[in-house]
Amino acid sequence: MQVTLKIKRFNPDKDKEPWWGEYRIDAEPTDRLLDALNHVKWYLDGTLTYRRSCAHGVCGSDAMQINGRNQLACKVLLNSLGNNITIEPMRGYRVIKDLLVDMDAFLAKYRSVKPYLITHGPEPEKERLQSPEDREKFDDTTKCILCGACTSGCPSFWADGEYIGPAAIVNAHRFLFDSRDEGGEERMEILNTLEGVWRCRTIFNCVEACPRDINVTRAIGEVKKALLYRKV
Amino acid sequence: MVQRYDAVVVGAGGAGLMAALQLAGHGNVAVLSKLYPTRSHTGAAQGGIGAALGNLEEDHWEWHMFDTVKGSDYLADQDAVEILCREAIETVYDLEHWGLPFSRTPEGKIAQRPFGGHTKEFGKAPVRRSCYAADRTGHMILQTCYQQCIKHNVHFYNEYHVLDVLIEQGRCAGVVAFCLATGEIHTFHSKAVLFASGGCGKMFRVSSNAHSLTGDGMAVVYRRGIPLEDMEFFQFHPTGIYKMGILLSEAARGEGAILRNKLNERFMERYAPTLLDLAPRDMVSRAIYREIREGRGIDGKNYVHLDMTHLGKEVLDEKLPDITEFARTYLGVEPLTQPVPIQPTAHYAMGGIPTDVEGRVVIDEKNTPLPGLYAAGEVACVSVHGANRLGTNSLVDILVFGRRSGRHAAKFIHENDWAPLGDQADSTARDAVSQVLNSTGKERAADIRDVLQDEMMDKASVFRDAQGLTTLREKLGELRERYKRVKSEDRGKSYNTELLEVIELGCLLDLAKVLVESALARVESRGGHYREDFPKRNDADWLKHTLAYQTSKGIELRFKPVVITKFQPMERKY
């Protein structure tokens, strides 16, 4: 099939304003959008810049706006996008070059929720026991790959860049609901602020944006409930 | 710009993070990654990590050791394999203590499942040894190790690409790296350097590897006169998604999936009557190639089917959710009702930078260490995988030897001072970058890489022979000439990823040459190295490791004995 990629370009060394580049290529309908971007970079314009690594939706490098929706370029096939495809960097993050954005603030927020198991007292010689039911409670939120699609798709975050954002809350949820974790109190203090979990207005954009199919809004809801009742 | 650290870790996958955790608190430590750490390819590992916990049935590390040695076609060093299998157990418990969300048995223990080549009682039947978290075990390991690094305030330099390693007066003095964001070249003056930068699968057309797996660590070290060990042994995983190469975990077959040809035959019955579809990867990949060659590929094409239709929704949803989704997303195939088209995919380098069991890089057949230089994980060759790695053992390897190398390096930085930094330590790296940026040539990196990947796939993958390898050797020479005229259209400073791709291609070209020379020399078949013109294993002449050195006269090959302790080489049948 023939597709036209309309890509928002910006090179900080040269451009004052972003501009649109158009590239017509021949491709297979089953090619990933990432394959199409690679085709442009490798054979048409080597300066096109974006992040990518695993190319099958597990590393989280290549989230971008594809026809207006946050998706991973490696997890969407051309046959689902039509012949004219518009590609822009994710919203809400500073654009550094073309489709590549500054994720430092996003990742700093992730790190701020103490995303690691907190326990007190000695560890057992073997594994801690955890029932399959307890394990299931946080299964969904272990899937996060920190691609940034949910936070970038969140209108509350567009309105208030200080909002900690859905991805950080998802990662807090992963520990709050882990029966082995003893850091609930300190983690809840971090989330129990105006820029924490309460900035969420339950708009559900994050659910649609998540390439790992995490039910982000439900996870945020569970954290809110835990804060209200001080119990997970 | 020169920065000084006690230790620098290059690479932030499982091995690098594990090493960094050992070094944290022992000095000033920096971890350099060309990605953000959680983008590392450890995260793509699926099926599990092997450890004889015995949670579901009797198991012993000695059985794991036997399987690993036999799986390696007796080329693994058995002292290292013993450490691997003993320490696997405590390593898995450590991961659990750090919060890794393993799947659980009904009693709440870590769940385990069968995997290729893992058996009970020295080969009698499959055993449940692979500890797993659905089919996202690597993702969970990477996340968990990175979470621990956050907890311990490990200092990261993200999106720094290492261009050179500094060797001064027989010691390691640091590395030179390129900051992607600014284009600046930084010298990291360091007492110890630990490479954990992963493999080089991108030299092949069909590969499970990430775009970033271009063997940078191996190439950088090799260019400084350090040998590469056993590079002829490259693993092709039997079940990659047709054409794309995306991995579909062996866990599928561990849970009962079956390989079928166009006659719907379970063809593994002919090749491995006891373990069937759970035979080691080298054998299964060869079986698939034979089926295709003899006309039994699906529709006469070069793929066969992975049949999961009898496993049921519950198993697919709970135990294999990611690979089920991959089949749906990338092939439009519903694994519940349709078989999945697969073909072998370039997966794992058994060879790499030679190290001892402490992760110290060793530079000759007598295992002389190069003080201050360490390597762990896929970039290294301890050797625990020999001629063929068993599934789950790469995750064991990165963690066990990531930890051992990190611990040894921590001791080293306490006991040693910095090696002096030479004048203009960064000149080699600077020259390499400016040569590309100022090139007046017309060659595109992608065109050269296309030929490289197609030729390697055609002549140096599952089946090899002298004729093909000799042709390939000439072809690589031509590509090297073309590479001298390679250009980068992007001449900018900020995030010049085109320049990065050119540099990465240079690494792949060097390593492909080492692979081909080593494969031509080894006139026998063993594990992942199969020579159609020498189809038998030859222990009398070839029970030894290859060491390839770059010299002014080309590649020089030397050989190193295999360490054999508990298990004498036997014929390898499953």
Dihedral class, residue A64 (left if φ above 0, else alpha if ψ from -120 to 50, else beta): beta
Q: Is the pLDDT of residue B370 over 80?
A: yes
Say how far apart CA B291 and CA B47 lie, in whole Å.
Answer: 26
Please check whether residue B132 is in contact with residue B102, taking contact to mean a CB–CB distance below 8 angstroms: yes
Residues of each domain in chain B carrying CATH 3.90.700.10: 239-344
By C-alpha distance, the chain B residue nearest A147 is B39
Q: Which of B239, B329, B489 to mutate to test the interface with A (most CBs of A within 10 A)?
A: B329
Token representation of residue A173:
């949820």
Is some CB atom of chain B closer than 8 A to the CB atom of A70?
no
Question: Where in the sequence numbering do the catalytic residues of B fall?
Answer: 281
Best residue of B33, B35, B38, B146 to probe chain A, by most A CBs closer than 10 Å: B38
First to last CA, chain A: 51
With a cut of 70, say whether residue B401 has pLDDT above it.
yes
pLDDT in tens, B299-308: 999 999 999 9
Residues in chain A closer than 8 A to B327 (CB atoms):
none
For residue range B234-244, list pLDDT tens digits in order. Answer: 999 999 999 99
CB A191 within 8 A of CB A181: no
How high is the pLDDT of residue A232?
59
Rounded Cα distance, B314 and B319, in Å: 8
Q: Where do you find CATH 1.20.58.100 in chain B?
A: 427-543
Is B184 within 8 Å of chain A by CB?
A: no
Identify from B34, B39, B158 which residue to disrupt to test chain A contact, counting A C-beta atoms within 10 A and taking the largest count.
B39
Q: How confident is the model at residue B1 (pLDDT cuts 50, 70, 90)?
A: confident
B412: helix, strand or coil? helix
Name chain A contacts of B102, Cβ cutoff 8 Å. Answer: 127, 135
Which helix (H) or strand (E) is A190 found in, with range? Answer: helix A184-191
| CB-based contact B489 A55, cutoff 8 Å | no
pLDDT at B21 over 90: yes
pLDDT for position B227 = 98
Q: Calculate mean pLDDT across residues B79-89.
A: 98
Over residues B453-462, the mean pLDDT reads 98
Q: What is the pLDDT of residues A99-120, one digit of tens each?
A: 999 999 999 999 999 999 999 9
Q: Which residues of chain B have a CB within 8 Å of the CB of A181?
A: 99
Residue range A145-197, pLDDT digits in tens: 999 999 999 999 999 999 999 999 999 999 999 999 999 999 999 999 999 99
- What is B281-319 written as a DSSP string? HHHHHHHHHHHHHTT-SGGGSS-EEEE-TTS-HHHHHHH
> What is the pairing mode between strands B112-120 and B360-362?
unpaired
Across B485-509, average pLDDT:
97
Domains of chain A: 2-101 (3.10.20.30), 104-229 (1.10.1060.10)
CATH for B427-543, among 1.20.58.100, 2.60.120.590, 3.40.50.300, 1.10.20.10?
A: 1.20.58.100
- Reported as a pLDDT band with limits 50, 70 and 90, residue B408 is very high
- φ and ψ of B167, to 5 deg: -115, 120
Tell me the chain A residues in contact with residue B239 when contact means C-beta distances shorter than 8 Å.
Answer: none
Chain B CB contacts of A80 below 8 Å:
none
Asked whether the beta carbons of residue B246 and residue A139 sit closer than 8 angstroms, the reply is no
Q: Which residues pair with B194 in a beta bridge?
A: B9, B374
Please give, rounded to a whole number of angstroms, the shortest distance from the CA of A199 to a CA of chain B.
25
What residues of chain B lie within 8 A of the CB of A129, using their CB?
107-109
Q: What is the pLDDT of residues A51-103, one digit of tens each?
A: 999 999 999 999 999 999 999 999 999 999 999 999 999 999 999 999 999 99
Tell whether B101 lies on the interface with A, counting CB pairs under 8 A: yes
Q: Is B492 on the interface with A (CB under 8 A)?
A: yes
> Between chains, do B99 and A46 touch, taking CB under 8 Å as contact?
no
Cβ-Cβ pairs closer than 8 A, A with B, add up to 150
**Cβ separation A145–B43 shorter than 8 A:** yes
Question: Please, which residues have CB within 8 angstroms of residue A42's CB and are 6 or more apart in sequence?
Answer: B444, B445, B446
Q: How far is CA B47 from CA B251, B256, B269, B276, B390, in A?
A: 5, 13, 23, 18, 12
- Partner-chain contact B211 A52, CB within 8 Å: yes
Confidence of residue A231 (pLDDT cuts 50, 70, 90): low
Q: How far apart are the first and last CA of chain B?
A: 56
CB contact under 8 A, A146 and B38: yes
Is the CATH code 3.90.700.10 the one for domain B239-344? yes
Does the beta-carbon distance from B93 to A125 stay under 8 Å?
Answer: yes
Nearest to A127 among B36, B110, B446 (CB): B110
For residues A130-155, average pLDDT: 98
CA-nearest residue to A58 within chain B is: B44
Whether residues B99 and A175 touch (CB distance < 8 A) is answered with: yes
Residues of A in Cβ contact (< 8 Å) with B505: none
**Residue A230 binned pLDDT confidence (cut-offs 50, 70, 90):** confident
Confidence bin at A47 (pLDDT 50/70/90): very high
Q: Chain B 20-79, CB below 8 Å of chain A: which residues? A: 35-36, 38-41, 43-44, 53
DSSP conformational letter for A41 = I
Query: Tens digit of pLDDT for each residue in B112-167?
Result: 999 999 999 999 999 999 999 999 999 999 999 999 999 999 999 999 999 999 99
